[in-house]
Structure 1
Amino acid sequence: MTIDEMLAEARSRLDRVDPAGARALQDQGALIVDIRPFSNRAAEGEIPGSVPIERIHLEWRLDPASAHRLPEVRADRPVVVVCNEGYASSLAAADLQRLGVRATDLDGGFRAWRAAGLPVREGPTPAVP
């Protein structure tokens, strides 16, 4: 299987959202999870209210059955995963779905959010370890 096939397979299971849809979900209580590296968040900013979690920790922090999950993670709380442009986030959201998380991703990633003129918080927040 190629990466393009993996991405297509992952996206076939996602109900991806555009920036306005992600904002609406956030306003309804969804958790926005930013998996971008610290350097990207430092250079470009962050979505206000988002939780930065490095990709290598993602499943442990969001698996409802994990002893290491974040306290704000609940089985009924949707999660929108954000990366730079919406590629890595699709793969990550599909992985989270396998764990039973109500996950999707932001089509176009953080850069689409910023281009849509939605709020951006400058300066990086340390990622959840």
Structure 2
Amino acid sequence: MWGWFKSLLGLGPRVPRISAKEAQEKLKAGAVMIDVRTPLERKMNKIPGSQGLPLAELAKRWESLPKNKPIICQCESGSRSQQAAEFLASKGLEVYNLAGGISAWQAAGLPVKKGDIQR
């Protein structure tokens, strides 16, 4: 909640929110997409080519991310990925938040790999 409050007050790093189509273009140009949802959520569905890095593990594993490529953070709706994006921006990385998350990606008609777990 503190992260949300800091964002509301404008205290956190500014992270651009991008649409699914903009994210797709950035991916084509070499950006990396990280999915900050839980492993169980990723088993249900995921954006092809995205890398799983749960929000709970981000602080421990962020240094494994490429420093020379833009990073797009993604979750289910865009809330957790905003937290992740702000954290990564504070570390000096070029980062974007996928507005609306995987839900917006699907709504835009972009491909989603369905898993073997159904909701």
Q: Structure 2 length as normaliser, TM-score?
A: 0.84
Structure with the higher strand share, 1 or 2: 2
Please say if 1:38 is aligned against 2:39: yes
User: For 2:11 and 2:82, how far apart are their aligned partners in 1?
Assistant: 6
Q: Which amino acid aligns with 1:75?
A: K
Please say if 1:101 is aligned against 2:89: no
Of 96, 117, 128, the match for 2:109: 117
Shift of 1:23: 0.6
Alignment RMSD (CA, Å): 2.2
User: For 2:80 and 2:20, how far apart are their aligned partners in 1?
Assistant: 16
SS at match of 1:48: coil
Q: Which amino acid aligns with 1:47?
A: I
Matches within 5 A, 1:57-72: 57-63=57-63, 69=64
Shift of 1:41: 2.0
Q: Gaps (5+ residues) in structure 1?
A: 64-68, 125-129
User: For 1:62 and 1:4, how far apart are their aligned partners in 2?
Assistant: 20
1:66 is aligned to none
Matches within 5 A, 1:55-94: 55-63=55-63, 69=64, 73-94=65-86
User: For 2:46 and 2:11, how far apart are their aligned partners in 1?
Assistant: 25
User: For 2:12 and 2:31, how far apart are their aligned partners in 1?
Assistant: 19
Shift of 1:59: 3.2
Q: Which amino acid aligns with 1:6?
A: K
- What is the count of residue pairs matched by the alignment? 115
Identity of aligned residues (%): 30
Q: Gaps (5+ residues) in structure 2?
A: none
